[in-house]
């Protein structure tokens, strides 16, 4: 396993060296969007309308941050369960979304789209919303203010610690990790 540094927006060639199980320190611009926002983004795609932000080379963090405390750009910002975005993720990847950040396993359709598009799925540590928030340097509303914490926000992050779960080569940490662990226990 290797640690990588990435700065968003990224290109496919930036993601090619990543392998399931590697760690990433992510910096740059990322967007928050949960299931309600994804449903609206998907509807725009189906209607042939432009998205409210450029997803090409972008990273979307499946999170709904809490309100910012005094002196901070954002409140706790932990990941939500990624499977709720699975119905929408392949279409967004085909539009150019290249990095997804969340927690939990993904569907076979998402796994295939990750390989097809040269994307990655990165896991943030669940239950560590304060850790993720500490990496956020600035936050601004992009769209869907009526969704409250689930509105799309543009975050600038520095050294956000993440783990590669799905890589562009078909690697899947949730499938391979337990197998490798059990093999390491054998005499």
> Is the CATH number of domain 3-185 3.20.130.10?
yes
List pLDDT tens digits, range 60-99. Answer: 999 999 989 999 999 999 999 999 999 999 999 999 999 9
Rg of the chain over CA atoms, in angstroms? 16
- 122-132 pLDDT, tens digit per residue, is 999 877 888 88
pTM as predicted = 0.94
Domain ranges of the chain: 3-185
Mean per-residue pLDDT, 27-35: 97
Give per-residue burial for 117-127: e unless 16+ CB within 10 Å, then b: bbbbbbbbeee
Element (DSSP H or E) covering residue 148: none
């Amino acid at each position: 396993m290797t640690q990588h540094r990435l700065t968003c927006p990224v290109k496919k060639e930036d993601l090619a060296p990543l392998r399931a199980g590697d760690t990433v320190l992510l910096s740059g611009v990322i967007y928050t969007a949960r299931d309600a926002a994804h449903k609206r983004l998907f509807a725009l795609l189906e209607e042939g309308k432009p998205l409210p932000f450029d997803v090409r080379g972008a990273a979307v963090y499946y999170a709904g941050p809490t309100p910012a405390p005094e002196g901070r750009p954002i409140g706790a910002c932990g990941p939500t369960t990624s499977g709720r975005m699975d119905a929408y993720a392949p279409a967004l990847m085909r539009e150019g979304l290249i990095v997804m950040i969340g927690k939990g396993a993904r569907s076979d359709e998402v796994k295939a789209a990750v390989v097809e598009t040269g994307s990655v799925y990165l896991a943030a540590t669940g239950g560590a919303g304060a850790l993720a928030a500490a990496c956020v340097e600035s936050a601004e509303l992009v769209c869907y203010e009526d969704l409250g914490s689930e509105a799309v926000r543009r975050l600038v992050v520095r050294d956000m610690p993440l783990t590669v779960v799905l890589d562009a080569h078909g690697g899947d940490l949730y499938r391979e990790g337990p197998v490798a662990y059990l093999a390491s226990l054998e005499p």
